[in-house]
Amino acid sequence: MAVCGLLIAAAFALSWLEFILPISLPVPGFKLGLANTVTLFALYKLGAKPALAILIGRCALSALLFGGVTQLLFSLMGGLFAYAVMLFIKRFRCFSPYGVSIAGASAHNIGQTTAAVLLMGTPSLYSYLLFLLPAGIVTGFLTAYIYKLCERVTSR
Amino acid sequence: MLCRVRLLKKGDILVILSVLLLEAVLAIVFFGSAFQGDRVVVELNNELLYDFSLLSNETLEIRGNIGKVTVAVENGRARFTEAECPDHICVKTGWISKTGQAAACVPNGVLIRISGSGGGDAPDVVLK
């Protein structure tokens, strides 16, 4: 339980870090998704339920401090869809954390774009996926790499 | 740095290829049928606000849900120039000009969309 609380704080801190550091490409909606390293870690080391709790906890905290209800809605739509996809993919042995992470990043982008499409009432907004999807492959890979580094450190 | 030669498993490659395939499909959908647009449509919370020729030169100030947004239309293209919103994804999107393209300031509920006859006819339409 205490570990969960710690991880929520860690994930939130990473979200906050991303918020204040303007590391982003001129691609609209681009995020490094550093907080997802915590989600991956929780998913692999703690299990499905704790990972979900940490995800929701992090989204709620971030929305509370940085955004509004719309932000929370988008965070959750992207995050929960990504979570479901990652949970499903993780079951099969032929996927490593890299695949899981990239699938999660892509699902997150698709989920959020879909939320925007539904809200604004036009499928034209799916064009945002044209730059979000490739970016997602890269960030997904990066997130998994960071997770692997942490795994190596924590298994000593 | 990475001591393993085989970093990615079969499934991972599958994931990457699937995403790239989706990307290709989207590219065909959006670029394959995109021509210079005729008109720009501006909606606020799914309700039509403006619909006029893309060739006009206008600056629109719109009161959105949480703040003000400014839309510029000039010489066949349109974009958000300013917005009062947390992320400015709308402004970062830049100019849009092809039919089917759109940009939105979701927190404010403002959408700009390019429409036009496009299709098999000549892509450039001269308006009277």
pLDDT digits (tens, 9 = 90+) for A24-52: 666 666 777 788 888 888 888 888 888 89
Helix, strand, coil percentages (3-state) for chain A, rounded to 5, are 80, 0, 20
pLDDT the model gives residue A74: 85
Mutate: best of B19, B25, B62, B87, partner A, most A CBs <10 A: B19
Residues A96-143 have pLDDT tens digits of: 999 999 999 999 999 999 999 998 888 888 989 998 999 999 999 999
pTM above 0.90, yes or no: no
Using alpha carbons, list the distances in angstroms from residue A128 to A116, A117, B36: 10, 10, 18
Tens-place pLDDT, residues B30-71: 887 778 888 999 999 999 999 988 888 989 999 999 999 999
Give residue-wise pLDDT tens across range B72-106: 999 899 999 999 988 889 999 999 998 888 999 99
Q: Which single residue is written with the structure tokens 């932000």? A: A71
C-beta of residue A43 within 8 angstroms of C-beta of residue A35 = no
User: Quick one: which of A54, A52, A51, A10 has its CA closest to A34?
Assistant: A10
Q: Which helix (H) or strand (E) holds B73?
A: strand B68-74
Report how far residue A100's alpha carbon sits from residue A90's, in angstroms, rounded to the nearest whole number.
6
* pLDDT surpassing 90 at residue B126: no
Interface probe for B, chosen from A19, A24, A95, A132 (most Cβ of B below 10 Å), is A95
In angstroms, the CA A30 to CA A16 distance is 15
pLDDT band at B124 (very low <50, low <70, confident <90, very high): very low
Give the tokens for residue A12: 């939130």
Whether A127 sits inside 8 A of B100 (CB atoms) is yes
Phi then psi dihedrals of residue B98, to 5 deg: -95, 150
B128 contact A CB<8A: no
Name chain B contacts of A95, Cβ cutoff 8 Å. Answer: 9, 11-12, 15
- Tell me what ipTM this predicted complex has: 0.82
To the nearest whole Å, the CA of A69 is away from the closest chain B CA by 9
pLDDT reading at B20 higher than 90? yes
B12 contact residues in A (CB cutoff 8 A): 95-96, 98-99, 102
